[in-house]
Amino acid sequence: MDKQMKGVGRLVLGAAMMVVGLGAAQAQEKVKVGLMLPYTGTYAALGNAITNGFKQYVEENGGKLGGRVVEYAVVDDESNPAKATENARKLVSRDKVDVVVGTVHSGVALAMAKVARDSKTLMIVPNAGANDITGPLCSPYVFRSSFSAWQPSYAMGEALAKRGIKTVATVTWKYSFGEESVAGFKEAFEKGGGKVVKEMTLPFPNVEFQPFLTEIASVKPDAVFVFFAGAGAAKFVSDYAAAGLKSNIPLYGPGFLTDGNLDAMGGAGEGLLTTLHYADGLATDRDSVFRTKYAEAYKIQPDVYAVQGYDAAQMFDAGLKAAGGDPSKKEEVIKGMAAATIDSPRGAFTLSRAHNPVQDIYLREVKGSENVVVEVVSKSLEDPARGCKM
Amino acid sequence: MDFASFLIQTLNSLQYGLLLFLVASGLTLVFGIMGIINLAHGSFYMIGAYLAFVLTSATGSLMLAIALGIPLALVFGAFLEWALFAHLYKRDHLEQVLLTYGLILIFEQLRSLLVGDDVHGVAIPAFLDASIQLTEVMSYPVYRLAISVVCIVLAVALYFVIQRTRLGMMIRAGNDDRSMVESLGININMVYRIVFALGVAMAALAGMLASPISSVFPNMGSQVLIISFVIVVIGGIGSVWGALVAALIVGFADTFGKVLVPELSGIVVYVVMAVVLLWRPEGILKKG
CA atoms of A259 and A265, how far apart (whole Å): 11
Element containing residue B141 per DSSP (H, E):
strand B139-141
Condensed to tens digits (0 to 9), the pLDDT of residues B114-159 reads 998 778 888 888 898 888 888 888 889 899 999 999 999 999 999 8
Is residue A24 scored above 60 in pLDDT? no
Indicate yes or no: CB of B119 within 8 angstroms of CB of A230: yes
* A294 Cα to chain B: minimum distance (Å): 20
Pairing mode, if any, of strands A99-101 and A68-76?
unpaired
% of chain B exceeding 90 in pLDDT? 58
pLDDT by residue, tens only, chain B of 288 residues: 788 889 999 999 999 999 999 999 999 988 888 888 899 999 999 999 999 999 999 999 999 999 999 999 999 999 999 999 999 888 888 999 999 999 999 999 999 889 987 788 888 888 988 888 888 888 898 999 999 999 999 999 998 998 899 988 888 888 778 888 888 888 888 999 999 999 999 999 999 999 988 888 888 898 899 999 999 999 998 888 899 999 999 999 999 998 888 778 778 999 999 999 999 988 888 654
Pick B141's closest partner by Cβ from A201, A242, A248: A242
Give dist(CA A48, CA A109) in Å, integer.
17
Strand residues in chain A grouped as ranges (E): 30-37, 64-65, 68-76, 99-101, 122-125, 142-144, 167-173, 195-202, 223-227, 251-254, 273-276, 350-351, 357-367, 370-381
Cis peptide before A103 (omega within 30 of 0): yes
Q: Which of A40, A201, A218 to mutate to test the interface with B (most CBs of B within 10 A)?
A: A218
Q: What is the pLDDT of residues A158-197, one digit of tens each?
A: 999 999 999 999 999 988 899 999 999 999 999 999 999 9
Cβ–Cβ < 8 Å for A157, A189: yes
What are residue A73's DSSP bridge partners?
A34
Look at B121 and A265 and tell me if their CB atoms are within 8 Å: yes
CB-nearest partner of B254 from A208, A244, A263:
A208
Residue B135 has a CB neighbour count (10 Å cut-off) of: 18
Q: In Å, how far is B217's CA from the nearest CA of chain A?
A: 6
With 70 as the cut, is the pLDDT of residue A26 above it?
Answer: no
Which residues in chain B are contacts of A250 at CB distance < 8 A? none
Q: Hey, CA dihedral for B55, B57, B59, B64, is it positive or negative? A: positive
pLDDT tier, A113 (very low <50, low <70, confident <90, very high otherwise)? very high
CB < 8 Å to B135, chain A: 217-218
Residue range A368-380, pLDDT digits in tens: 999 999 999 999 9
ipTM for the assembly: 0.81
**pLDDT tier, A364 (very low <50, low <70, confident <90, very high otherwise):** very high
At A22 the pLDDT is: 47
- For residue B29, CA distances in Å to B34, B195, B199 come to 8, 7, 7
Residue B287, by phi and psi: left (phi above 0), alpha (psi -120 to 50) or beta?
Answer: left
* Antiparallel, parallel or unpaired: β A30-37 and A99-101: parallel
Domains and CATH numbers, chain A: 27-147+282-355 (3.40.50.2300), 150-276 (3.40.50.2300)
A42 band by pLDDT with thresholds 50, 70 and 90: confident
Instruction: Identify the contact set of chain A against chain B, taking CB-CB distances under 8 A.
Output: 40-42, 44-45, 174, 200-203, 205-208, 210-215, 217-218, 220, 230-231, 234-235, 238-239, 242-245, 248-249, 260-261, 263-266
